[in-house]
Amino acid sequence: MAYSNLGGNYVLEGDYAKGIEALQHSINIRPTYAALSNLGSTYYYLGRFKDSARAFEEALKLNASDYWPWGNLGDADYWIPERKAQSAGAYRKGIERAEAFLKVNRRNANAMSVAGWYYARLGDQTKAFAYVNRAVALSPKDPSLELNRALVNVQFGRTDAALDSIEKALRGGMTPKMVRDDPSFNSLRSNPRFQKMVQGP
């Protein structure tokens, strides 16, 4: 657990090499859902999508009831040409599980927010914005929710709104490297405002 937490912190700081080392050490001792999920996220930010998908598939073997591993697998599959079509199935399973959480707690802003992102990947603009906007309204100081709204905005070509949300997420404590390295923001790479925001220290 200590190595898993250490690896997760390295990933949040954008130190992916140290993150992988610590997470692999944790998994070698005992595979856990958290360590495998964090490892999958690390590979994702590095653009190693097949490695990312494999890690998320292993995480699902340990916990298939949560929405996170399904959505994460969908994200990885989305960028693998031969697996992109099957990403929709993973997103749908993520939505099913997120909405199950919302039946228990209708104010679960996290589940609401990620469901919005999954709906965006499936092309459902109405539900995507309904979910992410409601999530941010419920917890306006959570930078991860604002970042999910940025993802939804960029998915539908709303560049200015996406940049506004990214700026808010960064002001709230989101790491510039994680924003910079998320392939879902590829369309913003040449935007001067985006470049300035994610250049980091």
Closest CA to 31 of 11, 60, 68: 60
Q: Which long-range contacts (CB under 8 A, 24 or more apart) does 60-65 make?
A: 62/31, 62/32, 62/33, 62/36, 63/33, 65/97
AA letter at 67: Y
C-alpha dist (Å) from residue 189 to 30, 43, 87, 192: 38, 20, 24, 8
Would you state the pLDDT for residue 49?
98
Ordered domains of the chain (ranges, CATH): 1-94 (1.25.40.10), 105-201 (1.25.40.10)
Write the burial class of residue 160 (CB in 10 Å: 0-12 exposed, 13-18 middle, 19+ buried).
Answer: exposed
Would you state the pLDDT for residue 200?
63
Mean pLDDT of each 10-residue bin along the chain, 201 residues long:
88 88 95 94 95 97 93 97 96 97 95 97 98 97 96 98 97 91 96 92 55
Q: Are 45 and 72 in contact (CB under 8 A)?
A: no
